[in-house]
Chain A
Amino acid sequence: MKEADVRALLAELIGEIAPEADLSSVGDDEDMREAIDLDSMDFNNLIIALHQRTGINVPEADYGKVVTLAGAIAYLRDKRLDQDDSRAQKP
């Protein structure tokens, strides 16, 4: 998953949860919850939407890794690579 694709996907999903939020104004290392006022329900809905769209299940213990744009991009890239590897290893 390319970085631009992850950014576009996050912008789309957040746009559905908080339509007035402008993700382009959020710094890569800013906590998105603070920057665009996502409460725990909003963030939970973002994790659900990510799971539905990408198949990537972010466990609750990893929520802290995806609260920034940079963190989410790295996390989703790594998870997607893991998925690709495990598929490639299947006979």
Chain B
Amino acid sequence: MPRNEGFEPDRFELFEPPLYRFEITRRHWLESLGAGWLLTCFAQDASGQGRGESVEARIHLGDDGIFTVLSGKVEEGQGPRTELAMAAAEELGVPLERVRVILCDTARTPDDGITAGSRTTPQTVPAVRRAAAAARGWLTAEKRLIENPRLTEPGQWKILGRGHWRIDAREIVTGAHRFPSDIVRDGMLYGCVLRPPAYGARLDAVDVEAAKMAGAAAAVRDGDFAGCAAANSYAARKALEAMAATAKWSGGQNHNSANLFVHLRATAQEKVAPLPGRTHHAEYRTAYIQHAPMEPRAAVAEWQDGKLTVWTGTSNPFSVRNDLARAFGLRPEDVRVIVPDFGGGFGGKHTGEAALEAARLAKAAGRPVKVRWTREEEFRWAYFRPAALIDVEAVLENGKIRAWQFTNYNSGAAGLQTPYAIPDKREKYVPADPPLRQGSYRTLAATANNFAREAFMDELAAAAGADPLDFRLAHLEIDRIRAVLTAAAGKFGWKQRRATRRPPNRGIGLACGTEKNSVVAACVEVEVDPKARTVRLVEIVEAFECGALLNPWNTRSQVEGCILMGLGAVLREEIQFENGRVTNARFSQYRVPRFRDLPEKMEVILLDRKDLPSAGAGETPIIALAPAMAGAVFDATGSRPRSLPFRW
């Protein structure tokens, strides 16, 4: 039986999909695109349940020789704009400079669902490639679409597989790009929203006239929602302060971060019995953290003839469109959501709060309104990465793991399953009552689960008297993980460095893992301050493999970004709350990674597997750092951090 069965999807799935139908029409479809042909690729519903066809990809073939890809995906820094342009250019056989990309506008682009889960690369890229490959025939003298087009084999790629930076870099460096918070409409007002004193508090009374007296052009209360809009942000804030002074609230939660983990255990929906005969067990914890993208949530809403247009930064535009339609009693087609490339999301912008708020205020004002959250609002009212309480238990016998029980309370099932070969495995996600509003974050619960699993592997290795690398390899049958692990360990010099005495307060550690069909491993060296019990990342070698690399430059940036973002959760990031209210809602109190946190040496190894389908790269590289650093802290101190952020 092949070792990797069930792990690596058949690469030919890419080339032998269900049925696709291509349609081409001559029309001035979009004023901005000029004359040309619009190619639409329809896909049969892959489930085969006869739910008909869906639009899979659209490409406009301009008479001026410019090709425009229309995709419902969104750009938040992870790189789809460039990747989709590369995909189209490759299959059209034209230079990258001749391809433009229009990303999500619900009135013009296909519904590609949410931009999340590393799915743009495995799903949208092949769709665009198929449409572009079909269109290639249109560019010949015969002007005939190619039926069942074959995609260019990775070995023949001229544009894909090579490094490209953002195709719109010039707009970014000149300040010309308009992020959602930069959008301006004629007659636009600036809005502010009244926030409750604690989660779950109800608004009993508020005097909206107070805001108007203080200079607001419009003020509205609608249930628990209240807000105002004025000619500029300063005036809107002053008006909001006046209104807030009249507000009366009741109720609200009284949760405290001090008893977070007691609360999660007490409210767990199931009590899991201990693993029979367990020889080792440990409890791991991860704190609530916030995504804190540089651009806070923002939206501009404009009503015209009973129809609504909203510009906003969200990864889930079609869902936000439906939310808006429901909230205002409109048909979805009467709501248009446009998503300008926005300033970071990391899984934190799957909702449309600012869009709803701006639309409500704009309706009250009869003018367009912009709402841009403050940093404090972003920290308090955006959803969080869930805190995790994880029990790991094992039966260790003759240096091997015979049985394994892994229980994640509250944070989720992503990355729950161990990649190690263990005869008896029991893995479970048990929901609990979350004290804060929680949701997605880069690679979901896989970061917490991989931290607990890999840190515990180190504990078992120590108990077995084995080297952490040897112990893992002895349990690891998945070739792709073995490959990244040995690549990272080799480059780092793991064996030699383990055999050599480390300088005082220095330690080394390693970890590996897999998620979303990609694999990662990291080796690190840390320095600890034994008195302050703080740690610094000195060096990291991380190896990553996500199938055939589409854009190695961007992949490298994503890996580096994941490592450093993961470092924040290891070192310091932790949401504190008292009586249902976040108490450290500022960058000065919630310290994200900075330039000074950069390790002295950082090496990223990208393994390019042209024989495997391409997988996304924006998430999985975050999961190896924390457990590798935990192992390194143990190596330096003999104590094991079992929480994020680290405490030992």
| A, B from the same assembly | no
Residues on A lying within 8 angstroms of B by beta carbon are: none
Residues on B lying within 8 angstroms of A by beta carbon are: none
